[in-house]
Chains A and B, each alone.
Chain A
Amino acid sequence: MIGSTDVVLDRAAAYPEIAGLRAALRRRDWPACRALIDRLEPSARSAALLECGDEQDAEPFLRGVLNADPADPAATALLGHHLIKLGWRIRTGYAAEHVSRGQAQQFRDRLRRAELLLIDGAARHPGDPAIWTARLLTARGLELGLAETRRRLDRALAAQPNHLPAQLQFLQSACPKWGGTWDLVHGFARDAAAAAPPGSPHGLLVVHAHIEHIFGDDGTDVFRYLSNDAIRAEIYEAAHRSVWHPEFRRDHGWLQALNAFALIFTMLDDRRSAATVFTALGDLADEYPWNQVGADVPVQVLQARAWAYEGES
Chain B
Amino acid sequence: MRLHEFQAKEIFEEAGIPVPESKLADSVEGVVDAVDEIGFPAAVKAQVHVGGRGKAGGIKIATSEDEAREAAEDILGMELKGYTVDRVLVEQGVDFDDEYYVGVTMDRGAGEPVAMVSTKGGVDIEAVAEEDPDAIAQEHIDPAFGLQSYQARKVVYDAGVPAEYAREVSSILSTLYELYEANDASDIEINPVMITADDDVIAADAVMNIDEDALFRQQDLADMEEDSYQNDLERKAGEYGFDYVRLSGNTGIIGNGAGLVMATLDLVDHYGGTPANFLDVGGGAKADRIGNALDMVFADENVESVVFNIFGGITRGDEVAKGINEALEDFDEIPKPVVVRLAGTNAEEGMEILNTDLVQVEATLEDAVQRAVTNAEEVAQ
Partners in one complex: no
- Chain A interface (Cβ within 8 Å of chain B)? none
What residues make up the interface of B, taking CB atoms closer than 8 Å to A? none
